[in-house]
Amino acid sequence: MMNVGEVKLFIWVSSLLSLACISVGFTPVDNYLIDCGSSTNTSVGNRVYVSDISNPRFLSTSRNIFANNTASSTTSSPLYQTARILDGSSKYSFPIQKQGRHWIRLYFFPFVYQSYNMSMASFSVSTQDFVLLSNFQIQNGSLMKEYSVNITSDRLTLTFTPSDNSFAFLNALEVVSVPDDLIVDDAVQVKSSTGYQGLLTQALETVWRVNMGDLAVSPLNDTLGRTWIPDQDFLLNKNLAVAVSNIPAVNYVNGGTSRDIAPTAVYGTCKAMNSSADPNSNFNVTWKFNVEPDFQYLIRFHFCDIVSKAAHQLVFNVFINSLLIVQALELSDKTFNVLGAPVFMDFVLGLSSDSKIVVSIGPNTVGGAPPNGILNGLEIMKMNNSMGSLDGDVSATTFTPSSSHKKMGLVVGAALGVFFALAVVVLFFLCRRRRLAQHHGSKTWIPLPINRRGNSHSMGSKFSNGTATSIAPNLGYRFPFGALQEATNNFVESWVIGVGGFGKVYKGVLGDGTKVAVKRGNPHSQQGLAEFWTEIEMLSQFRHRHLVALIGYCDERKEMILVYEYMENGTLKGHLYGSNLPSLSWKQRLEICIGAAKGLHYLHTGSVKAIIHRDVKSANILLDENLMAKVADFGLSKTGPEIDKTHVSTAVKGSFGYLDPEYFRRQQLTEKSDVYSFGVVLFEVICARPVIDPSLPREMVNLAEWAMIHQRRGQLEQIIDPNLVGKIRSASLRKFGETAEKCLAEYGVDRPTIGDVLWNLEYALQLQEANETDEDSINQIGEVSPLVINVNPVENSVTTERLGGSTLGDLSGVSMSRVFSQLVKSEGR
Ligand SMILES: *[C@@H]1O[C@H](CO)[C@@H](O)[C@H](O)[C@H]1NC(C)=O
Ligand SMILES: *[C@@H]1O[C@H](CO)[C@@H](O)[C@H](O)[C@H]1NC(C)=O
Ligand SMILES: *[C@@H]1O[C@H](CO)[C@@H](O)[C@H](O)[C@H]1NC(C)=O
Ligand SMILES: *[C@@H]1O[C@H](CO)[C@@H](O)[C@H](O)[C@H]1NC(C)=O
Ligand SMILES: *[C@@H]1O[C@H](CO)[C@@H](O)[C@H](O)[C@H]1NC(C)=O
Ligand SMILES: *[C@@H]1O[C@H](CO)[C@@H](O)[C@H](O)[C@H]1NC(C)=O
Ligand SMILES: *[C@@H]1O[C@H](CO)[C@@H](O)[C@H](O)[C@H]1NC(C)=O
Ligand SMILES: *[C@@H]1O[C@H](CO)[C@@H](O)[C@H](O)[C@H]1NC(C)=O
Ligand SMILES: *[C@@H]1O[C@H](CO)[C@@H](O)[C@H](O)[C@H]1NC(C)=O
Condensed to tens digits (0 to 9), the pLDDT of residues 466-500 reads 222 223 334 567 888 888 888 998 888 888 887 76
Tell me if residue 242 falls in helix, strand or coil: strand
pLDDT of residue 277: 80
CB 749 within 8 A of CB 57: yes
Q: Identify the residue with better confidence: 418 or 148.
A: 148
- Kindly give the distance from the C-alpha atom of residue 381 to the centroid of ligand 6, in angstroms, as a whole number: 26
> What is the average per-residue pLDDT within 689-716?
89
C-alpha angle 529-535-537 in degrees, rounded to nearest 5? 105
* Cβ of 114 below 6 Å from ligand 4: no
pLDDT of residue 401: 56
pLDDT of 589 higher than 50: yes
pLDDT of 586 higher than 90: yes
Point out the ligand 5 atom lying closest to the alpha carbon of residue 139.
13
Residues in binding site for ATP:
519
pLDDT of residue 635: 66
pLDDT of 689 higher than 70: yes
Residue nearest to ligand 9 atom 2, measured at CA? 388
Q: Domain 27-178 has what CATH class?
A: mainly beta
pLDDT of residue 630: 94
pTM: 0.57
Note the helical H segments in 614-714. 648-651, 661-666, 671-687, 703-712
In sequence order, what E strands does 401-528 have? Answer: 445-447, 461-463, 477-478, 496-499, 503-509, 515-521
pLDDT of 810 higher than 70: no
pLDDT of residue 639: 57
- Kindly give the distance from the C-alpha atom of residue 174 to the centroid of ligand 3, in angstroms, as a whole number: 20
> For the segment 307-348, what is each residue's pLDDT rounded down to a tens digit?
998 888 899 999 999 999 998 898 888 887 888 999 999 999
pLDDT of 408 higher than 60: no
pLDDT of residue 431: 39
CATH code linked to domain 179-395: 2.60.120
d(CA 642, CA 88): 7
Substitution site in 68, 70, 80, 85 for ligand 1 pocket (most atoms within 8 Å of beta carbon): 68
Fold of 450-565: Phosphorylase Kinase; domain 1 (3.30.200)
CA dihedral 316, 318, 324, 329 (to 10 degrees): -40
pLDDT of residue 721: 94
Point out the ligand 8 atom lying closest to the alpha carbon of residue 282.
13
- Please name every residue paired with 516 in a beta bridge, in sequence order, or none if there are none: 508, 565
pLDDT of 747 higher than 70: yes
Note the helical H segments in 155-263. none
Q: Identify the residue with better confidence: 41 or 500.
A: 41
User: Quick count: other Cβ atoms within 10 Å of Cβ 236?
Assistant: 13
CB 704 within 8 A of CB 683: yes
> What is the average per-residue pLDDT within 507-518?
87
> For the segment 372-394, what is each residue's pLDDT rounded down to a tens digit?
999 999 999 999 999 999 998 89
Residue nearest to ligand 4 atom 6, measured at CA? 119
Long-range residue pairs from 645-654, CB within 8 A, at least 24 positions apart, any chain: 646/824, 647/824, 647/827, 648/401, 649/418, 649/820, 649/823, 650/820, 650/821, 650/823, 650/824, 652/816, 652/820, 653/614, 653/615, 653/815, 653/816, 653/817, 653/820, 654/614, 654/615, 654/815, 654/816, 654/817
The enclosing H or E element of 161 equals strand 155-162
Q: Per-residue confidence at 437, pLDDT binned at 50, 70, 90?
A: very low
CB 815 within 8 A of CB 615: yes
- Of the listed ranges 112-121, 225-234, 513-522, 536-545, the least confidently predicted one is 536-545
Sequence-ordered list of residues with C-beta below 8 angstroms from that of 600, at least 6 positions apart, any chain: 613, 616, 631, 674, 678, 754
Tell me if residue 592 falls in helix, strand or coil: helix
Q: Which CATH superfamily is domain 572-753 in?
A: Transferase(Phosphotransferase) domain 1 (1.10.510.10)
Point out the ligand 2 atom lying closest to the alpha carbon of residue 39.
13
Residue nearest to ligand 2 atom 10, measured at CA? 41
Q: Per-residue confidence at 42, pLDDT binned at 50, 70, 90?
A: very high
Mean pLDDT of the chain: 78
- Of the listed ranges 95-99, 523-527, 552-556, 649-653, the least confidently predicted one is 649-653
Sequence-ordered list of residues with C-beta below 8 angstroms from that of 617, at least 6 positions apart, any chain: 573, 655, 657, 658, 677, 680, 681, 691
Query: What amino acid positions are annotated as catalytic residues?
Result: 615
* Cβ of 139 below 6 Å from ligand 5: yes
CB 772 within 8 A of CB 431: no
Domain ranges of the chain: 27-178, 179-395, 450-565, 572-753
- Of the listed ranges 52-66, 576-590, 770-784, the least confidently predicted one is 770-784
Percent of the chain at pLDDT above 90?
48
Most trustworthy range by pLDDT among 132-146, 655-669, 771-785? 132-146
- Kindly give the distance from the C-alpha atom of residue 45 to the centroid of ligand 6, in angstroms, as a whole number: 12
CB 42 within 8 A of CB 78: yes
d(CA 236, CA 251): 30
Q: How far is CA 80 from the centre of its chain?
A: 24
pLDDT of residue 140: 85
Residues in binding site:
519
| Domains 450-565 and 572-753 fall in the same CATH topology | no
- Kindly give the distance from the C-alpha atom of residue 67 to the centroid of ligand 1, in angstroms, as a whole number: 9
> What is the average per-residue pLDDT within 339-363?
94
Q: Identify the residue with better confidence: 698 or 528.
A: 698
- Closest ligand to residue 71's CA: 1
- Of the listed ranges 149-163, 486-500, 728-742, 760-774, the least confidently predicted one is 760-774
> What is the average per-residue pLDDT within 629-644?
65
Sequence length of the chain is 829
